[in-house]
Amino acid sequence: MMQNNQSNRPQDKPIVKEEQAIILDYLENGYPFEEAAMKQPIVQALGTSHFSVLELIPKRGIPLKHHQKVYIGEGKREEIHHIKGRIPLEKLTGTAHNELNTAIETIISENEARFVEFFNKAQPLSMRMHQLELLPGLGKKHMWEIIEARKAKIFDSFEDLKNRVKLIPDPKSTVVKRILLELEGKDKYKIFTN
């Protein structure tokens, strides 16, 4: 009897794919430090689902601009030829670094319910640590205030959260800071990024 080798292999971590990305920088003539023969147009972008920092190869002759949203999924792509791969934050150009906060804020604003849901569903990580405490500036006092408020009624927006939990002046900027920490690799826990 033949055995299926795939069933004996340990399961790999699923590959998370982005469907869309926001352009952080478009280098029409490639990176300035590359040899002329190697130069090709490059796009540095941020995935809108998992905040993957990506390097993309655009199609020739297609004009692109900062903050433009482009489709990078498996289907027919209009602007992007292919995904070159993920890149570390250190490889971002100065322009891309400057655009990163704005891109993150745009993604959060367009998907507010997804991020508010985190405040409604966050759970303990251990006996001493709660997911809410991973957010910059939130300690035990904030955590308990959020938990008590959501027991009464789940939060339906950042504004609702801000109004009902007085110690959190700007939940959106707190989430932005957390995403930046995760992208910088400064914490082993990943709440919002892959």
101-143 pLDDT, tens digit per residue, is 999 999 999 999 999 999 999 999 999 999 999 999 888 999 9
State the pLDDT confidence band at 192, using cuts at 50, 70 and 90. very high
What per-residue confidence (pLDDT) applies to 1?
41
Note the pTM of the prediction, 2 decimals: 0.85
What per-residue confidence (pLDDT) applies to 32?
81
CA 124, 128, 131, 133 torsion: positive or negative?
positive
Reduced to 3 states, what is the DSSP secondary structure of residue 13?
A: coil
Same domain membership, residue 100 and residue 116: no
Q: Is 127 exposed, middle or buried (0-12, 13-18, 19+ CB in 10 A)?
A: exposed
- Domain containing 77 — which CATH number? 2.40.50.140
Residue 65 lies in a domain: yes
Higher pLDDT, 29 or 20: 20
- Residue 154 structural domain: 112-183
Same domain membership, residue 125 and residue 95: no
